[in-house]
Structure 1
């Protein structure tokens, strides 16, 4: 036997509406936080990942060249003696 109780129907609709409102507020808060975070990060003097990688590769190349020059210098020093 199925009973239709208006009180329980109203409570179910209220709960459903509240859940939808909570989800909407959550989405709005996430959007606001994302915008705030992007503003904060853009105001900082940060480099992009691509820029970082380019400079890292340049430093590796300079280190390798320095090591090669150091080795060449050692060879020249040892041949002088």
Structure 2
């Protein structure tokens, strides 16, 4: 019986070693694939998240400014219409 346990122990050690090796190979392959993908994508003209968020914030600020200017223009146009002299009607 002692020899049976030795065989199972050796087999368990072998399987554990193989599993660890396979897991390490998987992690290495994933890291390599990520590095290659990052290198490939880095060559393209993509923007980073920070750059995108900065432009998005600037666009929102510009939109707010445009809305404020539009409101001021509406007020000024209303004042201009109110101050304009009334034209007499053509048939009167």
For Structure 1 versus Structure 2, the TM-score category normalised by the shorter chain is 0.7 to 0.9
TM-score (norm 2): 0.71
Unaligned stretches of 5+ residues in structure 1: none
Paired residues in the alignment total 80
Please tell me whether Structure 1 or Structure 2 has the larger radius of gyration of its CA atoms: 2
Unaligned stretches of 5+ residues in structure 2: 82-92
- What is the CA RMSD across the aligned residues, in angstroms? 1.8
- Alpha carbons of structure 1 residues 53 and 9: separation in structure 2 relative to 1, 3 Å: closer
Q: Deviations over 1:31-81 (max 9, x none)?
A: 211111211221121112221122112111111111111111111111122
Cα distance in 1 for residues equivalent to 2:17 and 2:50: 46
Cα distance in 1 for residues equivalent to 2:44 and 2:2: 63
